[in-house]
Amino acid sequence: DIQMTQSPSTLSASVGDRVTITCRASQSISSWLAWYQQKPGKAPNLLIYKASSLESGVPSRFSGSGSGTEFTLTISSLQPDDFATYYCQQYNSYSITFGGGTKVEIK
Amino acid sequence: EVQLVESGGGLVKPGGSLRLSCAASGFTFTNAWMSWARQAPGKGLEWVGRIKSKTAGGTTDYAAPVKGRFTISRDDSKNTLYLQMNSLKTEDTALYYCTRDEAMFGFDYWGQGTLVTVSS
């Protein structure tokens, strides 16, 4: 199975900060990567698919980049609503895997 | 409006069985690939398995920890997805989510989840 490693596991930031989360795949997944946001007690919400495509309705301050084995999710200017946990997900193979998550906390 | 509503969760003893259901509405269920994902209390997300649409072959894939114990099926006439869970282990305790699996576009809709607790 393809392993997905996210870093950092926790990130402390302030409103207005530029935030970057990294996800590394154990082997090439081309661009078959998605990012999700999850708030406490809620189901995950799709933000980005195919590494860099913004899901409809998601604010443009979210962006994704990368291909192969290294990917990033960037929030250009952190807003109060963005404090949450973020997960990457690879769907390159018949067996889908998620990263361990990155919790974005208020500094 | 797309809705996915899971049901069937509960408390079960180790070695027991449980069947989860997911009622779908607001989209053409027949054409949809569907996946189950789970989240143990305080932990991250884990994919459980997927079923393709019948037009795509209707085949299933499973994560290694559940292969041979869990079975995903669908009833397109009822717009319902199922997860049959057998030989349950304490480590299967989790909130189980039904998702619409858009294959190349990620999991774009999720239900609210149903809690499965495996404990003696």
pLDDT at B85: 98
10 Å CB burial of residue B25 (0-12, 13-18, 19+) is exposed
Tell me the pLDDT tens digit for each residue of B72-116.
999 999 999 999 999 999 999 999 999 999 988 999 999 999 999
Considering only CB atoms, B106 lies closest to which of A1, A43, A46, namely: A46
Q: How far is A103 from chain B (nearest CA, A)?
A: 11
- Nearest chain A Cα to B52, which residue? A94
Q: How confident is the model at residue B30 (pLDDT cuts 50, 70, 90)?
A: very high
Q: How far is B39 from chain A (nearest CA, A)?
A: 10
Whether residue B9 is predicted with pLDDT greater than 90 in this model: the reply is yes
Q: Which amino acid is at A29?
A: I
Q: What is the pLDDT along chain A (107 residues), one digit of tens a residue?
A: 899 999 999 999 999 999 999 999 999 999 999 999 999 999 999 999 999 999 999 999 999 999 999 999 999 999 999 999 999 999 987 889 999 999 999 88
Q: Is B106 helix (H, G, I), strand (E, B) or coil?
A: coil
- Nearest chain A Cα to B36, which residue? A96
User: Would an 8 Å CB–CB cutoff place A71 in contact with chain B?
Assistant: no
Q: Of B118, B119, B98, nearest to B22 (Cα)?
A: B98
Query: What is the rounded CA–CA span in Å between residue B58 and residue B51?
Result: 6
10 Å CB burial of residue B69 (0-12, 13-18, 19+) is middle
Phi, psi dihedral angles at B110 (to 5 degrees): -130, 145
Query: What is the rounded CA–CA span in Å between residue B56 and residue B111?
Result: 23
